[in-house]
């Protein structure tokens, strides 16, 4: 076994788990999940059937990742954040055929206690503030907060807020990388 699983973790059949991944106390990895190399799955995490996590995904304690979710490489999922997978759940109505897909793109961070309503993608290196409720797509590098979540700025790949000048250019205070804002989209230059 090229990964670590705590003795209280449950890993169902059909899962592919990458080298160096760690799965901690009381977590349940359900059937047919794909978890990349170097991931860290905190305690009391549920990864539902067929979820896909890329490399180096960090999942903090008490997170539920439901069927239909794909997290690309280097995603951070904060403590107790939640994904949904059905828009209109009812206990007495089976809607498994209606699961909506949610993609969290490379490098995105989702803060503690945030909720991502299904069918809304999170852009590359986007930053979702703690407690935010995401009800629409989030652009690459966007900083969103609140309920419902609204965009209040832009973030660098290093996790620093970007301040754009009159030419639509910004420099990351963390490492000096340069970014360009054009027509509501940010790109690293």
- The model's pLDDT over 111-159, given as tens digits with 9 standing for 90+, comes to 999 999 999 999 999 999 999 999 999 999 999 999 999 999 999 999 9
Q: Please report the pLDDT score of residue 152 as a whole number.
A: 98
- pTM for the full predicted model: 0.96
Which percentage of the chain shows pLDDT scores above 90? 98
Total residues belonging to the chain: 189
Residues of the chain with CATH 2.20.70: 157-189
Please tell me the distance from the alpha carbon of residue 142 to that of residue 44, in angstroms, as a whole number: 29
Q: How confident is the model at residue 1 (pLDDT cuts 50, 70, 90)?
A: low
Q: Please report the pLDDT score of residue 183 as a whole number.
A: 95
Q: Please report the pLDDT score of residue 35 as a whole number.
A: 98
What's the mean per-residue pLDDT of the chain? 97
Burial of 92 per CB tally in 10 Å (0-12, 13-18, 19+): exposed
Residues of the chain with CATH 2.160.10.10: 4-87+98-155
Q: Please report the pLDDT score of residue 54 as a whole number.
A: 98
Say if residues 29 and 13 touch (Cβ distance below 8 Å): no
Q: How confident is the model at residue 100 (pLDDT cuts 50, 70, 90)?
A: very high
Map tokens 């990895």 to a residue. 29
Q: Does domain 4-87+98-155 have CATH number 3.30.590.10?
A: no
* Domain 157-189 class in CATH: mainly beta
Mean pLDDT of 2-7: 97
Across the beta sheet with 52-53, the strand order is 16-17, 34-35, 52-53, 69-71, 102-104
């Amino acid at each position: 076994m090229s990964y670590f699983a705590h003795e209280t973790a449950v890993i169902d059949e059909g899962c592919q788990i990458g080298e160096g991944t760690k799965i901690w106390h009381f977590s349940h990895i359900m059937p047919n999940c794909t978890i990349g190399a170097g991931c860290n799955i905190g305690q009391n995490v549920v990864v539902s059937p067929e979820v896909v996590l890329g490399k180096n995904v960090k999942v903090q304690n008490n997170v539920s990742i439901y069927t239909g979710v794909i997290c690309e490489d280097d995603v951070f999922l904060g403590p107790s954040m939640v994904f949904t997978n059905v828009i209109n759940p009812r206990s007495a109505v089976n809607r498994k055929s209606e699961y909506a897909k949610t993609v969290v793109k490379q490098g995105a961070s989702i803060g503690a206690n945030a909720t991502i309503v299904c069918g809304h993608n999170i852009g590359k290196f986007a930053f979702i503030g703690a407690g935010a409720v995401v009800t629409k797509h989030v652009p690459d590098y966007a900083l969103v907060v609140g309920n419902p979540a609204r965009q209040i700025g832009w973030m660098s790949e290093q996790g620093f807020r970007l301040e754009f000048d009159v030419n639509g250019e910004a420099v990351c205070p963390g490492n000096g990388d340069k970014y360009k804002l054009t027509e509501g989209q940010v790109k690293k230059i």
